[in-house]
Amino acid sequence: MTRMPIPRVLALVACLTIIATPRIGAQQDPKQQGGPASVSAKAIAEQVGARLQPRDDDELRLGASFTALLQEPEKLAEFGLKGMHAGARITIARVAPDRVRIEADEMSPAPASAAATLKLDAKGALVAAPK
């Protein structure tokens, strides 16, 4: 086994630290990027007409998602996701501090799917797509 001299090890560590530093600094708090301070999963589900299963934590954090059952298709249609029926599966993910991705799919009465990325306002409510 060969041993690496200490100066080379220190140089390698310094290089890796320099490379990693900008990436760590780029991960900012959602509040600093213009997103709402907190987003309620229950409130988002209610806005799109879906029923959310009980959860321990209601906060929809950046990168998190949840699945719900569509109960009021007309509410979902207001956000541009048309053609879905009650019972469709709705997946909602917070993909950016001020953006939420909604995907709906169903197998009955016929296979169908729809998806949209919507903006969140300062209070954490969905903003309907312009007509």
Q: Model confidence over 1-32: pLDDT tens digits?
A: 566 567 776 666 666 667 665 554 445 444 44
Question: pTM surpassing 0.85?
Answer: no
pLDDT at position 35, please? Answer: 74
Whether 43 has a pLDDT exceeding 90, the answer reads yes
Listed by start position, the domains of the chain span 37-127
Mean per-residue pLDDT of the chain: 83
pLDDT at position 3, please? Answer: 64
Whether 33 has a pLDDT exceeding 60, the answer reads no
State residue 39 phi and psi, 5-degree precision.
Answer: -125, 125
The burial class, CB within 10 Å (0-12 / 13-18 / 19+), for 72 is middle
Mean pLDDT along residues 76-96: 94
Mean pLDDT along residues 118-131: 84
Strand partners, 126: 120
